[in-house]
Structure 1
Amino acid sequence: MTVTRSDLADFSYFLAIARHRNFRLAGLELGVSASALSHALKGLESRLGVRLVHRTNRSVTLTEAGEELRAAIATPFEAIGQAAENLNRFRDAPTGRIRLNVPVDAAPLLLAPVLPAFMDRYPDVEVEIVASNRLLDIVDNGFDAGIRHGGTVPEDMVAQRLSADLRWVVAAAPPYLDRHGTPERPEDLQAHRCLRVRIGDGNLYRWEFKGPDGEFAVPVPGRITIDETRAMLALGLAGMGLMYGLEPIFAPFCERGDLRLVLEDWATTGPGYHIYYPGRRQVPAALRLLIATIRELRPLGF
């Protein structure tokens, strides 16, 4: 059979479906809807005369023919994509699209301060940010890179530091402290209302401190558990309890007097943010330039 331009486009869609085994995730990678992918796949299967994918409400798997097609065309398509990316060396300004998976706090603290300058410098680059505290596999989910705190980056990834180490502190609204008192030592937290945090792996976060004998973690009491900083801030500012988080998150509210830090003598410092990506392929030019811009502007130090 003769391969048409439509076939080539649909082959790229098929490869994304094969990578993710999920139409929605494949669509997010390619910037098209899941229904458009489904329509394209049906057209490709019709033209080829074979079924490539088994679809149910819960799963997407490749047929034997689909596995054979994926194995045959994956490497050539990767080479074509890399060749197109390499052309950025000859352009006056790079082009491309970057998909990033970042913790919720990293979006306002690390990316928001640098993106205005980055977008002005490189007007042909698009950036998609998925802010989530869930621990995702960036390759399986179609991201070019992820951002996490140092020490939580997967070992099989290449990582680069983007910030200085970060201080973790306890904060509360003055009305809460006026009503319930100020804790002087971490053990005093057992008599307080704490806004507990459920982290990306589903566990409750144990508040970490540093004392004369080193670092230790405290399971804190609380009737409210949340998994996102904005909700925690809203409740904390309303006087609902003590909060634990990154000092830069609380800093603007402390400057206005809306929050007050407590237990500062026990505060600990943790690894800063790192960006990470697979090492087996060349880093896209647009991603390299974004990393360089963050390291140049240093919104969280370096």
Structure 2
Amino acid sequence: MHKSGLTELEAIIAVARRGSFRAAAHELGMSPTALSNAVAALEKRLDVRLFNRTTRSVSLTEAGDRFIARIAPAVSEIDQAVENINAHRNTPVGRLRINSFALAARVVLKPIILEYMRRYPDMKVDIVTEGRFVDIVAEGFDGGFRLTEEVPRDMIAVPAGPEMSFAVVGAPSYFAARERPQTPDDLLNHECIRSRLGSGAIYHWDFRYKDKIRSIDVPGQLCLDEGELLLQAARAGAGLANLPLWLVEDDIRTGRLIRVLEEWSISYSRLAFYYPSRKNISAGLRAFVSLLREIEAKSRHGKP
């Protein structure tokens, strides 16, 4: 059963919210078959069809719409009551759903996620990685990881991880017939691998050298939205890439990639975990936020 023991009711609420049996099943941690069976069992018991189903879409019937409007507040109250009881346990129990872009998930997996699971063995963590920026509330996530500047203003943000230094790199094959750029403006005459932020905006390459600051909308045929793809393209000689230093350190050390414009590099941003500014949050989310604040405090004081 799901967390409140009201599997069938939570199933139809999730399907109504997501407009998809598969997406609702993923949100609830159920198999699509189990969720479909739960909805069908409730419809059979009520002797009323709650959803119109086609091969491409799912929508509420008039009866289903009225039913959801009446039960959703009550189910929410029951879930909150369960969470209130959970808060009195020694350790939280349940599931934490987190949205993140792939590189961020790699940064936080070992020092944060695995540590959280070690401390709270009754908690399950479900991380969904995608480049696009999603509405975490509408899509049923407890929180998400993004660059600090991308966090919506109506969300609470908690720093996660150190500042990220970036490096402009290219493969030896790329430089075989090209001069290495000496200033950021030289990039305008190079083939660059552009990247798209989760918001959909094209990422401008930012640089600082002493009191000089430059932001370049670099040219390039190829635009990608995932760090590993950018790295593979750079290794293949497709162009210059601007990537987190930790991601390319081994390639630079082994000579697989060549770093340029090092004097202009800048510690650009930090990751943040963000979540809705609600008065009541689950015990599992509260414990996760507490762990992040603990790690941040240790980092400020230089403790391991």
Q: TM-score category by the smaller chain?
A: 0.7 to 0.9
The answer to whether the 8 A contact 1:109-1:249 is kept is no
- Range that drifts further, 265-274 or 79-88: 265-274
The answer to whether the 8 A contact 1:162-1:291 is kept is no
Secondary structure at the counterpart of residue 115 of structure 2: helix
Which whole-Å CA distance do the structure 2 matches of 1:281 and 1:62 have between them?
A: 30
Secondary structure at the counterpart of residue 150 of structure 2: coil
- Tell me by how many angstroms 1:273 deviates: 1.3
Counterpart in the other structure of 1:226: 224
Which whole-Å CA distance do the structure 2 matches of 1:157 and 1:217 have between them?
A: 27
Counterpart in the other structure of 1:3: none
Are 1:94 and 2:96 counterparts?
Answer: no
Q: Percent identity?
A: 39
Counterpart in the other structure of 1:25: 23
Counterpart in the other structure of 2:233: 235
Counterpart in the other structure of 2:36: 38
Counterpart in the other structure of 1:85: 83
Counterpart in the other structure of 1:287: 285
Change in Cα spacing, 1:301 to 1:263, as seen in structure 2 (3 Å) is farther
CA-to-aligned-CA distance 1:261-302 (integer Å, 9 cap, x gap): 321333344341111112235222222322333443459966
In the alignment, residue 108 of structure 1 is paired with which amino acid?
R
Q: Which structure 2 residue ranges, 5 or more long, are not aligned? A: none
- Range that drifts further, 190-199 or 254-263: 254-263
- Tell me by how many angstroms 1:184 deviates: 0.5
Counterpart in the other structure of 1:114: 112
- Tell me by how many angstroms 1:28 deviates: 0.8
- Tell me by how many angstroms 1:128 deviates: 0.8
Which whole-Å CA distance do the structure 1 matches of 2:214 and 2:61 have between them?
A: 51
Are 1:180 and 2:211 counterparts?
Answer: no
Are 1:130 and 2:128 counterparts?
Answer: yes
Are 1:263 and 2:255 counterparts?
Answer: no
TM-score normalized by structure 1? Answer: 0.86
Are 1:73 and 2:71 counterparts?
Answer: yes
- Range that drifts further, 168-177 or 182-191: 168-177
The equivalent position to 2:143 in structure 1, one of 137, 145, 161, is 145
CA-to-aligned-CA distance 1:35-63 (integer Å, 9 cap, x gap): 33223222212221222222233332222
- Tell me by how many angstroms 1:85 deviates: 1.9
Are 1:64 and 2:66 counterparts?
Answer: no
Which whole-Å CA distance do the structure 2 matches of 1:8 and 1:251 have between them?
A: 50
- Range that drifts further, 254-263 or 29-38: 254-263
The equivalent position to 2:152 in structure 1, one of 151, 154, 163, is 154
Q: Which structure 1 residue ranges, 5 or more long, are not aligned? A: 1-6
The answer to whether the 8 A contact 1:110-1:299 is kept is no
In the alignment, residue 104 of structure 1 is paired with which amino acid?
A
Which whole-Å CA distance do the structure 1 matches of 2:44 and 2:135 have between them?
A: 33
TM-score normalized by structure 2? Answer: 0.85
Change in Cα spacing, 1:212 to 1:116, as seen in structure 2 (3 Å) is closer
